[in-house]
Structure 1
Amino acid sequence: MFALGPRVVISRSAIAGQKAVLVETLRVLKADETQKRHVTGDIISPGQVLGIEHLRDPRLNKGLAFTLEERQALGIHGLQPARFKSQEEQIELCRISVERYQEDLNKYLYLTELHDRNEKLFFRLLSENIERLMPIVYTPTVGLACQKFGLIYRRPRGLFITINDIGHVYEVIKNWPEPNVKAIVVTDGERILGLGDLGACGMGIPVGKLALYTALAGFKPHECLPIVLDVGTNNQTLLEDPLYVGLRQKRTTGKLYDDFVDEFMEGIVKRYGQNTLIQFEDFGNHNAFRFLDKYREEYCTFNDDIQGTASVAVSGLLASKRVTGKNLSDNKFLFLGAGEAAIGIADLTVKALENEGLSLEEARDRIWMVDIDGLLAVDRPEGNLEGHKKFYAKKHAPIKDFAAIVQEIKPSILIGASAAAGAFTPEILESMASFNERPIVFALSNPTSKAECTAEQAYFNTGGRVIFCSGSPFGKVVMGDKTYYPGQGNNAYIFPGVSLGVLLSGIHHINEQIFLIASETVAESVSEDDLARGSLYPPLSSIKECSVNIACRILEYAYQERIASVYPKPKDMRKYVESHQYNYNYEPSLPQTWQWPNPPYIKTKPMEPIKLKA
């Protein structure tokens, strides 16, 4: 017992009782807020958050763009400087701020902080500056961000579900505060880009991918969820790194690992529904194909490393027909690499060749593949022809030397998906030019440091006759009076539009024809000017338009093939797609019916806008 003043005496039990009542009241209020978000299917409405919390919520914050009326009504008047800034002025300031950083990782950190502070500003900045900023939020800088993840980790973003959560995965998923997730990108971090096993540090990849979902296809941010399945890592450097943020144990494998992934897939459907799109990203080769084959007929899922990479590569091949004047079936293909990316490209190329009239066997006969043990040959002593590799094994004498294989096969199309930097040597590129008038060379490995050759090497060692594309961005190449602007075969041309079309049509299972439709759509978007500049892809700045076109084509296909589940069929596909896209622009923070109380609030004169200088 203790006294407050001369007459008031309060027991500790009474205080505890009052505290319990307060905690319960807060719980009910929070539950009520959650229920409202369930009902509306959207983010918290501005009227539910007042004061400083309105500025701290990145979904509601508009920075200095709040009007005087909004500042006073929301209880933030005086919490900001007097200046009023439009979103356009803020965008210009952000552009200048990004460019002032010299290191790409620092630019990445600035954009991450902006995303955490002001969601609409971040996505508008990104969507309007795709060519400059996509290499920062996505490849190649995201690879460096993953390598430094333990050092730069600041704020929770996404879910980390560990193998220790097995048996309770659904409960962990329920901890994510958004009730209407529609798109998930998940990784277990075993094969991050060409960098190998980064474990829980691989979270940078799902975060970057979903940022592009919003910036390039208009997904609403609160409908996107990045996830890492942390089952440990076999990267000894990370296990010994005091900054590593994941489980410090070797990777779990076998039945326990499979049961864990099964429980995860079931938990997602239980929480968010059967039509939730689940994109697998950067799983190891041995698991990627297994899970794709296992889940594709049970869930709405695809693997971007297999199918997205395949689709963008085949798009480049389709566009190259307009340069060479040949059909795809007139070519001989040689792949360096036989992992998930290479096999995915080969499988979709086969489908494109079948569309030109070849049989399945005839199409596969035109594709030769090389892995770490050399040419995929039926009788090679190493064997190792498991899974999809066996479809491309040839009855040919085993050869290990890649340069010798190029001389032996004499391909017209050379595709690298090996993460073997510099594997396309000057000698190999010269060989390609010696038996092809217009050799086609795709160096698709990323990040840039893992590319099989640079754009400059490709052009200079083929006398400028090469038809080139890469997986990471390269700058222009000048040869005499000719300047080439090589295109980047970036998956971002494909996966945002495919995902948008799949979700808006309610497709339950994603077949290969959908990815071939995406390839054809992107190839059709390549102009004659693009081809003349040396690019097999439209400008990166046009990806938003490509995404809408892909979504519209997929919708038409889904209703034609009766695999859509959203009815009635929209009368205007483009209008239907655009009506479901995220609005990057600031919206009023007060209801249109807002009435000012009496007496009227203080009015002040806003400052005149000024033009910023870099």
Structure 2
Amino acid sequence: MFVKPNMKINQIYPYLSWSLFQRSIISRTNASSTYQNKERILLNCTNNNSDYKMTTRRFLTGYDVLLDRRANKGTAFSIEERQTYRIHGLLPPTVATPELQVERFMDNLRNMPDDLSRYIALAALQDRNEKLFYRVAMTYTQEIMPLVYTPTVGLACQKYGLIFSKPKGLFISINDKGHIYDVLSNWPIHDVRAIVVTDGERILGLGDLGCNGMGIPVGKLSLYTALAGVAPEYCLPITLDVGTNNETFLKDKYYLGLQHKRVTGKEYDEFIDEFMQAVVKRFGQQCLIQFEDFANHNAFRLLEKYREHYCTFNDDIQGTASVAVAGILSSLRITGRKLSDNTFVFYGAGEASIGMSDLLVVAMEREGVSVEDARKKIFLVDSKGLVVKDRPTGGLNEEKKRYAHERECIVKLGEIVKALKPSFLIGAAGQGPAFTREILEDMASFNEHPVIFALSNPTSKAECTASEAYEATKGQCVFASGSPFPNVDYNGKTYIPGQGNNSYIFPGVGLAIVTCGIRHIPEELFYISAKTLSEQVTEEDLAAGLVYPPIEKIHAVSRKIAVALAEYSYEHKLAAHYPKPKDLEKYIEENQYKAEYSDALPPRWDWQKKN
């Protein structure tokens, strides 16, 4: 919202009754001069309908540079820069290289007592020196990724109220209903191209964490930049707070969200509708809205409701599906079987398993199999057992009905595995250990190379560990998990567990959207992402047991995915940025964020030499 000098406080925020409203406006002139002019004008306004009055003015100091995470280089500022920006003397005299800064930070990080402390240290680094944070993440991706995302982010969300220090992103509560656009207008950056939003109702496998779920959008968008090179200024994490049904948080004095039961029904739907419309009004139709960790009963219907009208996708449904199908396609190169010759059992029948099943059907269609025949290869297991037609233990929603077969109802997973003899056993239930040694041994008895995917996050919710899978199958299995597991030494061979994490998919999808202006996201894009990811797995990777490329290659893999999606989007008139670049890969690479210090300060820093 543009604030005019003579506006009244009730015109700016009519639904708030503040006794004092303060706002800083940065004015900028003479942009071409050597030291560009910048002043900070502090304006005060009371709620007695008085006009804004200018009270003070001052020049920005060099100390302000050190407090700006995007301008700050810390000890890497050169002597010339320290003098130019008036920070000489505010830092120790030694000028450090970026490489030394990374090395120093990693030494400190490795000496910390636990992963939560490391998470807090990384968050603090991101707040004070953004480029150094991403340089650390890009240099030590395999070591840093589990700290900024799964599994550590799960613990960070549970402890969010206790460890909270500096806010990231926007918190929009149900109390803001009717004024969501005004809240979005408080975000200082106008060119936002990617939003990750959660309502906190189903955070990983941890359940309803309410406002504490903000760690997920923040972590996801950090990976957008670290893994795919989406510029961080394009990214905005958002939490929609409608309350929580978590009794612990309702009584927790440190909980930062609304301490009442979740708002549901019509009021909830109107709130989400207003949010979607406000995003388009504020940031444009091409702004990506990625839904994250919404509960099953909302995730499917909101995706269906908005997918044809907004640039949106649900990562738990579509991103998980894409990375799982990529792992399945890679596994076929080990098992030597056609996709449609396999039987798939999904332990869990929520948004992740349904999404994987739907995309798997698309993949089988590419082999010439009909939708009906493809679905016959897929079996779902929920909390009541095998999903079958006319099940006596309860009705099925529309998503499950697609995979309900004419069979007897079997309740126990072990008995289901014995009856169906699947070649793929995929866990996404978020209920913790479920693939027992007996089940794993049975899988090995049916198949030369049984495929075991334990995809639930965080680690404590995984269906089995990598060592359990390799030992029970005597090293025969093809294994992947949602959270990282250490290498397994068994019978004289080292097995490297693949990590089937969505981070292989959504950063590349986001990179394509923000660089090419993709307006809508059809399901085909996720099949293309899966196929492209699978193609990046080498024979050497497969020999080591990997069905995904090594994490160290993920930056290049994300670019490959983005290029493949861009090609499809330009071909099918989905991209808005014209003309189409002659060399898409070069164009996307040039637009990837580089965690390198610039000689110039960000555009909002304009200077005038003091008299």
By how many angstroms is 1:278 displaced?
0.4
1:382-434: CA deviation from partner (whole Å, max 9, x where unpaired): 23311211100011111111111111111111010011211100111111111
Q: Which residues of 2 match residues 315-354 of structure 1 at below 5 A?
A: 315-354=326-365
Task: Give SS of 2:352's match.
Answer: helix
Maintained 8 Å contact 2:71/2:601 = no
TM-score (norm 1): 0.89
Once the two structures are superposed, residues 461-517 of structure 1 have per-residue CA deviations (whole angstroms, 9 ceiling, x without a partner) of: 111101110111011111121110111001111000011112322221101110111
Correspondence list, 1:353-368, <5 A: 353-368=364-379
Tell me, yes or no, if the aligned pair for 2:160 and 2:212 is still in contact at 8 Å: yes
1:412 maps to amino acid: S
Structure 1 pair 204/358, CA: closer, same or farther in 2 (3 Å)? same
2:237 corresponding residue in structure 1 = 226
Residue 583 (structure 1) shift: 2.2
How far apart, in 1, do the equivalents of 2:60 and 2:559 lie?
A: 34
SS of the residue 1:202 aligns to: helix
2:570 is the alignment partner of 1:559: yes
For residues 484-499 of structure 1, the aligned pairs below 5 Å read 484-499=495-510
What is the letter of the counterpart of residue 27 of structure 2? D
- The secondary structure found in structure 2 opposite 1:392 is coil
Is this contact kept in 1: 2:154–2:458, CA < 8 A?
A: yes
CA pair 66-384 structure 1, distance change in 2 beyond 3 A: same
Runs (5+) with no aligned partner, structure 2: 1-20, 32-38, 40-58
2 CA distance for matches of 1:154 and 1:95? 22
Contact 1:189 1:197 (C-alpha < 8 Å) held by counterparts: yes
Shift of 1:520: 0.8
- Among 369, 382, 402, the alignment partner of 1:371 is 382
- Whose helix proportion is higher, 1 or 2? 1
Query: 2:325 maps to which residue?
Result: 314
Distance in structure 2 (CA, Å) of the matches to 1:466 and 1:35? 67
Moved more, 330-339 or 570-579: 570-579
Query: Residue type matched to 2:591 in 1?
Result: H
> Which runs of at least 4 in structure 1 moved beyond 4 Å after TM superposition?
26-29, 33-36, 594-599
Q: Which amino acid aligns with 2:72?
A: N
Identity %: 57
> 1:589 Cα deviation (Å)?
3.4
Q: Between 541-550 and 561-570, report the one with greater CA deviation.
A: 561-570
Normalising by the residue count of structure 2, what TM-score does the alignment of the two structures yield? 0.89
Pick the aligned partner of 1:184 from 185, 191, 195. Answer: 195
1:164 to 165, 169, 175: 175
Q: How much has 1:310 moved relative to structure 2?
A: 0.5
Tell me the secondary structure at the aligned position of residue 203 of structure 2. coil
What count of residue pairs does the alignment treat as equivalent?
562
Report the structure number with the largest CA radius of gyration: 1
Query: Aligned to 2:310, what secondary structure does the other structure show?
Result: coil
Provide the residue aligned with 1:609 in structure 2. none
* Matching residue of 1:123: 134
Q: Select the residue among 70, 76, 84 that pairs with 1:73.
A: 84
Q: Deviations over 1:145-165 (max 9, x none)?
A: 000000000011111100011
The residue number in structure 2 matching 1:86 is: 97
Secondary structure of 2:597's match?
coil
* Contact map agreement 1:181 1:276 (CA 8 A) in 2: yes
Partner of 1:139: 150
Give the letter aligned to residue 150 of structure 1: G
304-313 vs 75-84, which moves further? 75-84
Residues 1:449 and 2:460 are matched in the alignment: yes
1:100 partner amino acid: N
Q: 1:82 to 1:372 in 2, by over 3 A?
A: same
Structure 2 match to 1:604: none
Amino acid at match of 1:580: N
**Offset of 1:49 from its aligned partner?**
5.2
1:419 aligns with 2:430: yes
Give the aligned partner of residue 32 of structure 1: 27
Cα distance in structure 2, aligned partners of 1:332 and 1:189:
34
Deviation of residue 28 (structure 1)?
Answer: 9.9
Offset at residue 281 of structure 1 (A): 0.2
CA contact (8 A) 1:127 1:215 kept: yes
- The secondary structure found in structure 2 opposite 1:537 is coil
Q: Tell me the equivalent position of 1:465.
A: 476
1:478 aligns with 2:489: yes
* 1:128 partner amino acid: T
Segment of structure 1 superposing worse, 77-86 or 130-139 = 77-86
Distance 1:29 1:161, change over 3 A: closer
* RMSD of aligned alpha carbons: 2.1
Distance 1:129 1:33 in 2: 39
SS in 1 for 2:279: helix
Write the distance in 2 (CA, Å) between the matches of 1:76 and 1:289.
Answer: 53
Residues 74 and 481 of structure 1, relative CA distance in 2, 3 Å threshold: same
**Do 1:300 and 1:508's aligned partners in 2 also have CA atoms closer than 8 Å?**
yes
2:297 pairs with 1:275: no
**CA apart distance, 1:223:** 1.1
Counterpart of 1:287 in 2: which secondary structure? helix
In structure 2, what is the Cα distance between the partners aligned to 1:28 and 1:383?
Answer: 57
Unaligned regions of 5+ residues in structure 1, if any?
1-25, 37-43, 600-614
Cα displacement (A) at 1:67: 1.2
SS of corresponding position for 2:25: helix
1:355, distance to aligned residue in structure 2 (A): 0.5
Q: Say which of 175, 179, 184 aligns to 2:186.
A: 175
Q: Cα–Cα, structure 1 residues 93 and 31, in superposed 2: closer, same or farther, change >3 Å?
A: closer
The code of the aligned residue for 1:467 comes to V
Task: State how far apart, in whole Å, the 2-side matches of 1:59 and 1:163 are.
Answer: 32
Q: How big is the shift at 1:69?
A: 1.4
Judged with a 3 Å threshold, the aligned counterparts in structure 2 of structure 1 residues 483 and 35 are, in CA distance, closer, same or farther, namely farther
Write the distance in 2 (CA, Å) between the matches of 1:319 and 1:597. 60
Q: Quick one: distance in 1 between partners of 2:207 and 2:531?
A: 32
Q: In structure 2, what residue type is equivalent to 1:315?
A: A
Measure the CA separation in 2 of the matches of 1:473 and 1:506.
33
CA contact (8 A) 1:412 1:436 kept: yes
1:368 maps to a residue whose letter is F
Other-structure match for 1:400: 411
CA contact (8 A) 1:70 1:590 kept: no
- Tell me what 1:533 maps to: 544
Q: Which residue of 2 aligns with 1:41?
A: none
Give me the whole-angstrom Cα distance separating, in 1, the residues matched to 2:449 and 2:532: 24
Q: 2:66 — aligned with what? A: 55
Contact 2:347 2:427 in 1 (8 A): yes
> Structure 1 residue 443: deviation in Å?
0.5
Residue type at the aligned position of 1:382: T
Change (3 A) 1:27 1:444: closer
Q: How big is the shift at 1:336?
A: 0.5
Cα gap change, 1:35 to 1:274, in 2 (>3 Å): farther
2:106 and 2:548 mapped to 1: Cα distance? 26
SS, match of residue 345 in structure 2: strand
Query: For residues 146 and 31 of structure 1, what CA distance do their matches in structure 2 show?
Result: 35
Say whether residues 1:248 and 2:259 are aligned partners.
yes
Once the two structures are TM-superposed, the CA of residue 35 in structure 1 deviates from its matched residue by 14
